[in-house]
Structure 1
Amino acid sequence: MRLFLALLPNEEMITALTDIQNDLKRSGVKGRYTDPFNLHMTLAYIGEYGDTERVIDVLEETDFGPFEITLKETGAFRDLIHCTCEENDDLNHYVKLLRHRLSENDIPFDSKPFIPHITLVRRADFTPDALHETAHVSMFANRVSLMHSAQGKNGMVYTELACVYASDEDKNEEIWE
């Protein structure tokens, strides 16, 4: 099973992100646009790993308080266009702690530095002037999701397997086994 841990945007943020995608399309940007149902911020990419219960245990043992995520601007990693978020010490601390706990539990993950972003377009064909500041839409992140990634007929399909709520929320649940 290909797994990753992510923050899922709320409806207001999904609307803002799809508006940004539409602006990019109007600017002539070509590529594989992320389906609105697949928009997310990856906190840790685990990859192929079969023990979902172990990952859920780590999530449940890693407390966090809700924190604010605010969109900032579009940017690019080579041919991938993303929306960056404003710096957030609470988010950065949580990701560092979460990755430390994954490591302590021998759960493999991609150790690339965490750069908070949401992917908008893959294999993008664009010029730098297509990238711009965005509306500073915010949301309170109060849950972290364990996601499964699988190839579907029309691209990747992401399925939420479980979620853990912020420590002041008592709603931790397993969605699918």
Structure 2
Amino acid sequence: MRLFVAVHPPPAAVAHLTARVAGLRVGAAFAAGINVRLADPANLHVTLAFLGEVPADRLVDVQSALGLAVETARRGWDSSPRLHLGGGGRFGRGRFTVLWVDLRGEVEALHLLGRLIRAGLRRNRLPYDERPFRPHLTIARPGDRIDRCDVVADCLTLDDYRGPEWPASELVLVRSHQGPRPRYDHLARWPL
């Protein structure tokens, strides 16, 4: 099973962001029929840990590690972390260009939760991607299908973006099914 751990923004934050993306150059390119691969609003998420392939018989170990991480993190919080989407940027270059929007607000709480999750996965000898946690939402994969100047202009436009505030109310263990139309199954949830 290909697994990751995520926090999902609520529908109002997703709708606000979707409207902003439609006004970007990447949104105009998509509307014109260019395959810039906009992220499906129904699947927008902030990945706290990417596990990759995990044998089905280790699912209970994953769930235990995540449950303990959430329990430990919540002890230090008065309430769910308050977040909002704002700013943005790009990763990669050429055909691997990815456009993203930043996560702001009480982000340090998610950093703590991410560290606790990774520590629990490590203790249980479970796989996870060790790249540094950079909280963001991927909004498009334009690759090299639009001019680099358009991507840079979209990044500058996103600098002024500020979405509505929302509480990170739950952590979700997600199974992803790759392909031309990726599909995500929520396997477990923990309130934050």
Give TM-score, length-normalised by structure 1.
0.85
Compute the displacement of 1:127 (Å): 3.0
Output aligned runs, 1:1-177, within 5 Å: 1-24=1-24, 25-26=26-27, 28=29, 31-50=36-55, 51-62=58-69, 63=71, 64-65=73-74, 66-78=80-92, 79-86=97-104, 88-124=107-143, 125=146, 126-131=150-155, 132=158, 133-152=160-179, 154-166=180-192
> Going by fraction, where is helix more abundant, 1 or 2?
2
**Distance in structure 2 (CA, Å) of the matches to 1:60 and 1:127:** 39
In structure 1, the residue corresponding to 2:178 is in which secondary structure?
A: strand
- What is the rounded CA distance, in whole Å, between the counterparts of 2:3 and 2:103 in structure 1? 23
Contact 1:27 1:130 in 2 (8 A): no
Q: How large is the Cα RMSD of the aligned pairs?
A: 1.7
Q: Is the 8 A contact 2:37 2:140 kept in 1?
A: yes
Task: In structure 1, list runs of 5 or more residues that go unmatched.
Answer: 167-177
The Cα shift of 1:26 comes to 4.7
Q: 8 Å contact 1:16–1:135 — kept in the other structure?
A: no
Structure-2 separation of matches of 1:33 and 1:130:
13
2:77: which partner in 1? none
Q: Deviation digits for residues 74-123 of structure 1, max 9, x if unmatched?
A: 21102100100126221111111111111111111000000010010014
In structure 2, stretches of 5+ residues that fail to align are 75-79
Identity %: 28
| Contact 2:48-2:110 at 8 Å conserved across structures | no
- TM-score by length of structure 2 reads 0.79
**1:170 matched residue in structure 2:** none
Q: Which has the larger radius of gyration?
A: 2
Aligned residues: 165
Cα deviations by residue, 1:102-161 (Å, 9 ceiling, x for unpaired):
111111100000001001001443431112221232211121000010035x42111111
Take 1:94 and 1:118, find their aligned partners in 2: how far apart are those partners? 17
Cα deviation for residue 60 of structure 1 reads 1.1
SS in 2 for 1:101: helix
**CA contact 2:4–2:173 (8 Å) conserved in 1:** yes
Which one has the bigger strand percentage?
1
SS in 1 for 2:188: strand
